[in-house]
Amino acid sequence: MNTVETIQKRHSVRTYTGEPLSNEHITQINQFISQLQAPFGIKARIVLIRKYANETPIKLGTYGWIQGACDFMALIYEEAPFAQEAAAFMFEQAVLFCTNLGLGTCWLAGFSRSSFKRQITLGPNEKLRIVSPVGYASDRKSFIEKYVVRADKNRSSRKPFETLFFDKKFDTSLTEVNAGHFSTPLQMVRLAPSANNKQEWRVLLQEETLHFYKKPYPLFDSIDMGIALCHFELTCKELGIEGKFEVLKDFPNNDKFKYVVSWTQA
């Protein structure tokens, strides 16, 4: 899988053909998600759910946002500090894998948890947080999909590079030229999906260390940060840029942003 090309190709799909996944695709997805591990020592897993049991439809509530989907991936993790970021990091890998197979996906935080939980056995400390349909995109879009796409176009599709990333200090914007070999990984962070496309993460580059921050709003979802971290690390690995994430005790403070984690080049 070419990470950069797959990230650029990925988009949310809300209308599907109604055709269940082929046995080949089910096998490929199950093999992939079975070997995934969440970072930062977090326990998480992904399960593939079919909307039919012995050809009997199972009601899985997505509040009308998704049409024609027969199969879903569900993200489950154990409650712990940094669990949402780590679990989302892992789930985005599965989303990108499905994108590379030519399948449609769509991150969903709003869905009927009770209907999905009836198909999943949760451990005592496990939480079902995110689901995504996975399947064959329909050429015909539902009214809701047309509405959402139109709303997305009315917003700024992605914030400019210089407004998301900073050079040495928070009062100095980082340009793609000054970002050097981090330019492409940061561009992939910029393309990461987020709730209402708000892109509430920020990154400060200091020498060979990048500090990741988020807007300290209660509505900001740590899931979005996990997706951004996934895009960054996968792209770095593809480009041969070695390093690791770690939470530092000493990091630049800023009144507008809350520190999350740092990435240091090896």
Q: Which CATH superfamily is domain 3-144 in?
A: NADH Oxidase (3.40.109.10)
Q: Which run of H or of E encompasses 179?
A: helix 176-179
State the average pLDDT over residues 211-225: 84
State the average pLDDT over residues 109-136: 90
Confidence of residue 113 (pLDDT cuts 50, 70, 90): confident
Q: How far is residue 188's CA from residue 4's CA, in Å, rounded to a whole number?
A: 7
Q: How far is residue 199's CA from residue 196's CA, in Å, rounded to a whole number?
A: 8
Give the pLDDT of residue 114: 85
Q: Largest Cα–Cα distance of the chain, in whole Å?
A: 60
CA proximity to 45, closest of 89, 75, 84, 81: 75
Which tokens go with 97?
A: 């894998």
Give the pLDDT of residue 166: 98
State the average pLDDT over residues 3-25: 95
State the average pLDDT over residues 63-86: 90
Written as one string, the DSSP assignment of 158-175 is S--HHHHEEESSTTSBPP
Give me the CATH code for the 161-265 domain, please: 3.40.109.30
Q: How far is residue 46's CA from residue 34's CA, in Å, rounded to a whole number?
A: 8
- Average pLDDT over the chain reads 90
Higher pLDDT, 144 or 49: 49
Q: How far is residue 214's CA from residue 144's CA, in Å, rounded to a whole number?
A: 30
Q: What CA–CA distances, in Å, run from 176 to 99, 187, 229?
A: 27, 9, 18
Kindly list the domain boundaries of the chain, sorted by start residue. 3-144, 161-265
Residue with tokens 């990333």: 165
State the average pLDDT over residues 24-43: 97
Tens digit of pLDDT for each residue in 161-206?
999 999 999 999 999 999 999 999 999 999 999 988 889 999 999 9
Q: Do domains 3-144 and 161-265 have the same CATH topology?
A: yes
Please state which of the ranges 12-21, 50-59, 130-139, 187-196 shows the lowest mean pLDDT. Answer: 50-59
